[in-house]
Structure 1
């Protein structure tokens, strides 16, 4: 896990919005750790702030737009890709318009501006999400899948069924190449017939020959040529298919690389790093955001279950039942833990396999067996006792006495067939034999009981 970063100094960038064609000024300021990326519309009343978040995306037609109808920022993907490339996590972006400048159609100009002022490392760590199970989303013909891997790897294929832009493949692996060098310079692109349609609908007003690659599948009509020359304010002499005259590729697969750039820019709205192998077929902003939202939900779930212990019966126990006999005074029918599966100076995890043969099920309750809550608390205390006795030379010469039970909650019934997993964490260092612990009991990933326990260990006389 890496440290968060911000800019050392403010950066000002000016340019034209791709679709609006208006002059835009960005002022990108450093922000404190945990701030994330936020945009502030300085041209609107009260200068509303719009958080760069995948959940704030509300339009994905040809570009990514965040916010809502009252206050939004469009075409954020290239700037977000630049933030991703350099590991910039915290910034306030002041903007005087609704759309970011297109610049040269890539993320490179942003990166150059940021590198000119330098970056500052911050104390907080950047969160990350490690993919443990495959995830896939689809939208029309587009599909993105993410698989478990030890590092980030991204593979993109595009196929426009075009003779002038054949199917392409792009791959990026964080440990082997620089996003800044291999992906960030790739420019956005458009087909000439699409550009003509956009111009007719009052869009792409900021488009210029140096802001996007234009692929010519068929020679333009006189009307299309006139509209293009009016837009570019220069004579356009298109004599053949291919790229617009005067343009050249930075990479043979520049289109696929730019789609990879857009994908990472859209995923950067998540605010955390991804550890996994991403495979994207015909990605676009819509399916990119669909995957981002799926990852966002996964991250929320993982945060909720972060400290939930995982029990693998095939894994060798730290202490088996015979070892526990050497640590605790308890014996049948009151020894309520079967083994210890994790142990450190600050926490302990134990397992209890609940069977119908437990003696307390005879009367609690006939025909409806439920493990008594007080015995769940007792099992928690025994689990904590293992942690306490670990530091004592002769643990069987000590007894443990409850002093207080606080904030006890029983959330789900525990029944025969359940495997209880207890996790206890020290709330503060042990002093004068006093032990205070946070105790939680789980069945699978469901919390069934919790409490704060205070006990004292006393040597037998």
Structure 2
């Protein structure tokens, strides 16, 4: 399955639910492997904030993200629309901290994205296939969310708030193709006692009776009635027979459960990787959703890091050492890779046989030879160099230079007789000859080193 973005930019505007501020939001096409990124156009330098679980800072009445002082509030409805339409890469520009609440659902974001059109990209979509049950439980509230193996991305949610007016509700989808018709128009909701508290704390400044379902779970006092009239700018406030404040008509009998499912989709977008598995959530909320997203993101990253590539060392390589030397300027003793087995637009796989004849073993622990860690990173970088040089028609006329090395870790020693397997993949698209990639080195079935590398190719002639 290929990654997708949108064909053209599209904008919409409204007010933030909690800030009450008017905001313009623009969806823009984004390159492959970009993911979902928010951009604050109202701040100096237009800083960006990736939609990742690591940046969650607050889950009260919505999921708020923050990085280096840059904040995005109530991100879930926008992200749910992107996931629901199976869009992988999009830039979300805003001139305030909170997206417009619109009608309290994802409906208007879905309509805007459909207006922009969906465009298929070249790179394959990364999908994490669930092989075992993973769960997160909030001991304080009893909320639980888990994922189990399944053939698609399925979600089932069960809600029980212990109130007669709402009761117990369930909602589910078998795949994301159901999102637009079954889930997208399900609006956010609250109980009357919560509305009173939020108003007392100066929140929901952008709320009105058209973008939030209010379930009346207590007697409506004259004082509360007057307060609501003033806040919602209504001459009269009433409770209808279905227990909902004023005259709002439900889109679905179980709209509350469907909106909780919508929130789950938006919050789990923060994992950063598509899931092939069934999500089962009992009494979900933004806190349990995002804690589960953090747990899954760490699990996926760890599995990816420790997943040794399967390479048949006896098969003919894509490139042997002679072909490598036609592309790389390195020569012995500084040519540190022997073969390339895989090469695509966004990743490369290479190997090196470590022998006792290596020059560095003469001086590096001669009595107990160990390959220097810096040379493992250099070999990793040379493998990545093949990836970046493959983007130009005359690679023999270019040199590759390090720009930055981050998050270097060494896990296992490498000794004579070992075979090193290197895998490098792009973190962001190659631009102007600059390549930002994640590199891993494996030996004896284990991860032995990893590093985040940035390099640039420059013409040598």
| TM score, norm. by length of structure 2 | 0.68
Q: Aligned residue for 1:105?
A: 104
Displacement, 1:201?
1.2
> How far, CA to CA, are the matches of 1:302 and 1:99 in structure 2?
34
> How far, CA to CA, are the matches of 1:111 and 1:410 in structure 2?
45
> How far, CA to CA, are the matches of 1:218 and 1:250 in structure 2?
23
Structure (1 or 2) with the larger CA radius of gyration: 1
Displacement, 1:100?
0.9
RMSD after superposition = 3.4
> How far, CA to CA, are the matches of 2:222 and 2:67 in structure 1?
39
Residues 125 and 439 of structure 1: is their aligned pair in 2 closer, same or farther, counting only changes over 3 Å?
closer
Are the equivalent residues in 2 in contact too, given 1:309–1:421 (CA < 8 A)? Answer: no
> How far, CA to CA, are the matches of 2:169 and 2:222 in structure 1?
31
Alignment of structure 1 residues 196-275 onto 2, 5 Å: 196-234=196-234, 235-238=236-239, 242-275=243-276
1:18 paired to 2:20: no
Displacement, 1:256?
0.8
Are the equivalent residues in 2 in contact too, given 1:219–1:238 (CA < 8 A)? Answer: no
1:189 paired to 2:193: no
1:65 paired to 2:67: no
Are the equivalent residues in 1 in contact too, given 2:305–2:447 (CA < 8 A)? Answer: no
Alignment of structure 1 residues 7-406 onto 2, 5 Å: 7-68=6-67, 70-139=69-138, 140=140, 141-174=142-175, 178-234=178-234, 235-238=236-239, 242-309=243-310
> How far, CA to CA, are the matches of 1:76 and 1:410 in structure 2?
37
> How far, CA to CA, are the matches of 1:188 and 1:145 in structure 2?
23
Are the equivalent residues in 2 in contact too, given 1:4–1:125 (CA < 8 A)? Answer: yes
1:442 paired to 2:441: no
Are the equivalent residues in 1 in contact too, given 2:308–2:442 (CA < 8 A)? Answer: no
Q: Aligned residue for 1:377?
A: none
> How far, CA to CA, are the matches of 2:241 and 2:447 in structure 1?
65
Residues 226 and 113 of structure 1: is their aligned pair in 2 closer, same or farther, counting only changes over 3 Å?
same
Displacement, 1:446?
5.1
Residues 94 and 373 of structure 1: is their aligned pair in 2 closer, same or farther, counting only changes over 3 Å?
closer
Moved over 6 A (4+): 345-349, 371-374, 420-426
For the residue of structure 2 that corresponds to 1:26, the secondary structure is: strand
Structure 1 unpaired stretches of 5+: 311-317, 319-344, 350-370, 375-408, 415-419, 427-437, 449-461
**Deviations for 1:241-268, whole angstroms, at most 9, x for unmatched residues?**
7112311211111111111110110111
Equivalent pairs, count: 346
Residues 348 and 241 of structure 1: is their aligned pair in 2 closer, same or farther, counting only changes over 3 Å?
closer
Residues 170 and 57 of structure 1: is their aligned pair in 2 closer, same or farther, counting only changes over 3 Å?
same
Displacement, 1:238?
3.1
